[in-house]
């Protein structure tokens, strides 16, 4: 793209005093200010590309710590390569910068759509993720040397002063881009359109700087070539923006099948539901309605399958309801209302408090015809009180209330029934994503269980969904060791599942490429082909795995079965594991 007839800048590779002064259409002071403004815009766009890749890596591949580390380390490495390569273009800095910005706008702007395409239609995205990280990193790294040359040609100054000005604009732009991504682009435009719009802004800023401010450095042929390239890039980005919605629908059909009927970005996560439009008795016990069984995906991971979710929720809830009173129950997570459905089958229950992070899931659990039918309209029961909050923060607030204090910003409201905010709970049900997901590790920490244990009434029980005991045994037994570390006696048990069942797996990685379509269980079956859901029941005194005398008729859980589930889990115990803490999480890998 560089015109060989382009006149070289004499001494461009030498010290600042040998650079030929730029011939600008504006005074040098204003020209320098315009260059710094473009540095600001390009830095903001560059950081948006980085954050976009990190967000996509977490969503499409999983395990945010690992994927963020891969993306950022590859990009920083590539930026060094780009800076070295840019040395060869400094003699034609203006045209070089124009080419770099056009390529960066195209590659960065289309990265989200390209990665989602790889995931939806080819079943993998890790290779493409590394490739885009390298390409974007090389192009971002090439910007600074070229901009340094351009700004020195406007007004000669010592190298330290020029670097300080350039980096100040760069860092402030990065701040704006870093704030714009989560608070503006992602919620307002979404990942696909947000990346495309960022690319268009990048192309306009870079093209305007070169084609107007430094136009006298370009030959007519080069000027027209750069103009054509920028117009083509903007046309491609505009076409992508217009096609973003139909593309997203087609990609969802490729990933989730043709039955997608709900797809929303709640601000916390992407929520997708398929099927579940058929009614009839026995719904929720594996009978398919006319619309097929309901499946609920959160950020691409299958969380609820109508075919046999009842087996999971019966095993989670009913053993904890035995062994003592169960009038007051706390559910951490469980915004789909399915655990609450099982709890409300006991007449002795007087109040249920549900602490769910995502208000969008709570809204769907109340209003969606398929999901509300499946949970038997549990969240509309007058005994149920829902709270939108992070479970860890909410427990801290309750602990502060119980101690007579109150954390800043905590609400001054109590649960229904006229009881004080510090009243203990007979049963606490932790229905949260697996600990292998980075965002969930604090919800499986020693600190978390210490806070939960303080809210238990005398004789109260805490039950935790602890992951897959055969597919990720070290993670499962770390949960059990962490619960014991806060003084709780534990009974681990597991319930058989099938590879097609819903899974709270930490990521989708199984093969060399590291991705599976979201509708597949990411766990590798244990020897013999069996997979399991793992649970841990805990109390201050050794609990007994049993069913309450007033337990309703259950489809999948029996007393004899629970004994077998307990023996099966104990046979595979991993001893001497250390507890997981906030400062030393032990669930990764």
CA 442 to CA 444: how far, in whole Å? 5
Contacts of range 574-578, beta carbons closer than 8 Å, 24 or more positions apart: 574/473, 574/474, 574/477, 577/474, 577/477, 577/478, 577/481, 578/478, 578/481
431 noted as active-site residue:
yes
Report the top-level CATH class of 308-404+418-505+528-570.
Answer: alpha beta
Query: Cα 234 to the chain's mean position, in Å?
Result: 30
Catalytic residue among 63, 431, 501, 507: 431
Q: For residue 527, what pLDDT is reported?
A: 40
CA 158 to CA 266: how far, in whole Å? 50
Strands 456-467 and 531-539: antiparallel
308-404+418-505+528-570 shares the fold of 29-247:
no
Query: Cα 517 to the chain's mean position, in Å?
Result: 16
Homologous superfamily (CATH) of 29-247 is MFS general substrate transporter like domains (1.20.1250.20)
CA 44 to CA 51: how far, in whole Å? 11
Q: Where are the domains of the chain?
A: 29-247, 257-298, 308-404+418-505+528-570
Is residue 95 within a helix (H) or strand (E), and if so which, with residue range? helix 93-122
Q: What's the angle, vertex CA 320, arms to CA 314 and CA 321, rounded to 5?
A: 85
Q: Would you say 474 and 572 are in contact if contact means Cβ atoms under 8 Å apart? A: no
Q: For residue 349, what pLDDT is reported?
A: 97
Q: For residue 290, what pLDDT is reported?
A: 43
Q: For residue 229, what pLDDT is reported?
A: 96
CA 144 to CA 87: how far, in whole Å? 10
Q: For residue 291, what pLDDT is reported?
A: 66
Q: For residue 257, what pLDDT is reported?
A: 81
SS in 3 state form for 448-460?
A: HHHHHHHCEEEEE
210-225: pLDDT as tens digits: 999 999 888 999 999 9
CA 586 to CA 476: how far, in whole Å? 11
Helices marked H in 516-582: 559-570
What b/e readout covers 238-256, taking b as 16+ CB neighbours within 10 angstroms?
eebbeebeebbeebbebbb
Strands 531-539 and 328-333: unpaired
CB atoms near residue 194 (< 10 Å): 24
Distances (CA, A) of 419 to 321, 399, 416, 425: 21, 15, 7, 11
* One-character DSSP codes across 203-248: HHHHHHIIIIITGGGS-HHHHHHHHHHHHHHHHHHHHHHHTHHHHH
Return the axis-axis angle of helices 186-208 and 220-242, rounded to nearest 10°. Answer: 170
Annotated binding site for S-methyl-5'-thioadenosine: 269, 356, 390-391
CA proximity to 429, closest of 513, 351, 316, 337: 316
Phi first, then psi: give them for residue 260, nearest 5 degrees: -65, 125
How is residue 175 written in tokens? 């701040």
Query: Cα 70 to the chain's mean position, in Å?
Result: 15
Q: What is the mean pLDDT of each run of 10 residues along the chain (589 residues)?
A: 40 47 82 92 95 86 78 93 90 92 96 92 86 96 91 77 87 95 89 95 95 90 95 97 92 85 85 77 41 86 89 96 95 96 97 96 95 96 96 89 53 42 86 80 94 95 93 93 97 77 42 37 42 93 94 94 93 93 81
Q: For residue 120, what pLDDT is reported?
A: 87
How is residue 563 written in tokens? 């004994």
How is residue 342 written in tokens? 């099982």
Q: Would you say 147 and 83 are in contact if contact means Cβ atoms under 8 Å apart? A: no
CA 437 to CA 433: how far, in whole Å? 7
Q: What's the angle, vertex CA 479, arms to CA 477 and CA 481, rounded to 5?
A: 70
The backbone region for 257, taken as left when phi is positive above 0, alpha when psi lies in -120 to 50, beta otherwise, is: left
Q: For residue 301, what pLDDT is reported?
A: 82
CA 32 to CA 25: how far, in whole Å? 12
CA proximity to 148, closest of 1, 246, 9, 264: 9
């Amino acid at each position: 793209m560089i015109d060989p007839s382009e006149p070289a800048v004499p001494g461009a590779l030498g010290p600042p005093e040998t650079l030929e002064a730029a011939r600008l259409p504006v005074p040098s002071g204003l020209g320098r200010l315009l260059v710094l403004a473009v540095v600001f815009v390009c830095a903001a766009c560059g950081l948006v590309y980085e954050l976009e890749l990190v967000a996509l890596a977490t969503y499409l591949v999983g395990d945010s710590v690992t994927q963020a580390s891969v993306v950022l380390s590859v990009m920083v490495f590539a930026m060094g390569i780009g800076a070295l390569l840019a040395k060869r273009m400094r003699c034609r800095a203006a045209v070089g910068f124009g080419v770099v910005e056009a390529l960066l706008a195209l590659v960065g702007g289309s990265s989200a759509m390209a990665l989602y395409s790889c995931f939806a239609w080819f079943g993998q995205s890790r290779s493409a993720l590394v490739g885009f990280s390298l390409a974007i990193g090389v192009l971002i790294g090439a910007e600074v040397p070229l901009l340094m040359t351009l700004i020195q040609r406007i007004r000669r100054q010592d190298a330290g002063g020029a670097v300080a000005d350039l980096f100040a604009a760069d860092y402030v732009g990065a701040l704006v881009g870093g704030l714009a991504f989560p608070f503006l682009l992602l919620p307002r435009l979404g990942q696909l359109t947000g990346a495309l719009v960022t690319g268009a802004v990048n192309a306009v800023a870079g093209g305007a700087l070169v084609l107007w401010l430094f136009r006298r450095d370009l030959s007519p042929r080069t000027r027209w070539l750069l103009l054509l390239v920028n117009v083509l890039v903007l046309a491609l980005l505009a076409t992508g923006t217009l096609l973003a919605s139909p593309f997203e629908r087609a990609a969802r059909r490729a990933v989730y099948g043709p039955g997608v009927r709900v797809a929303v970005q709640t601000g916390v996560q992407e929520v997708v539901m398929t099927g579940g439009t058929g009614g009839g008795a026995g719904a929720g016990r594996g009978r398919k309605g006319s619309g097929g069984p309901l499946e609920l995906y959160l950020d691409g991971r299958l969380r609820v399958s109508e075919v046999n979710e009842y087996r999971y929720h019966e095993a989670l809830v009913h053993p904890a309801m035995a062994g003592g009173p169960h009038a007051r129950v706390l559910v951490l997570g469980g915004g789909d209302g399915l655990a609450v459905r099982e709890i409300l089958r006991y007449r002795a229950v007087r109040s249920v408090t549900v602490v769910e992070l995502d208000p969008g899931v709570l809204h769907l659990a109340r209003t969606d015809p398929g999901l509300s039918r499946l949970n038997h309209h549990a969240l509309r029961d007058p005994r149920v009180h829902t709270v939108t909050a992070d479970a860890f923060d909410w427990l801290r607030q309750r602990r502060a209330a119980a101690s007579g204090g109150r954390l800043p910003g905590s609400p001054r409201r109590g649960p229904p029934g006229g009881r004080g905010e510090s009243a203990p709970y007979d049963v606490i049900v932790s229905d949260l994503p697996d600990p292998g997901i980075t965002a969930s590790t604090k919800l499986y920490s020693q600190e978390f269980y210490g806070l939960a244990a303080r809210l238990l009434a005398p004789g109260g029980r805490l039950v935790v969904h602890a992951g897959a005991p055969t597919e990720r045994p070290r993670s499962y037994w770390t949960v059990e060791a962490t619960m014991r570390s806060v003084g709780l006696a534990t009974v681990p048990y597991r319930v058989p599942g099938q590879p097609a069942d819903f899974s709270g797996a930490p990521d989708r990685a199984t093969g060399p490429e590291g991705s599976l379509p979201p509708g597949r269980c990411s766990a590798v079956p244990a020897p013999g082909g069996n997979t399991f859901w793992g649970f841990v029941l805990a109390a201050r005194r050794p609990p007994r795995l049993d069913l309450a005398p007033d337990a309703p008729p259950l489809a999948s859980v029996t007393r004899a079965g629970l004994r077998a589930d307990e023996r099966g889990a104990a046979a595979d115990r991993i001893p001497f594991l250390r507890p997981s803490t906030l400062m030393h999480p032990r669930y990764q890998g």
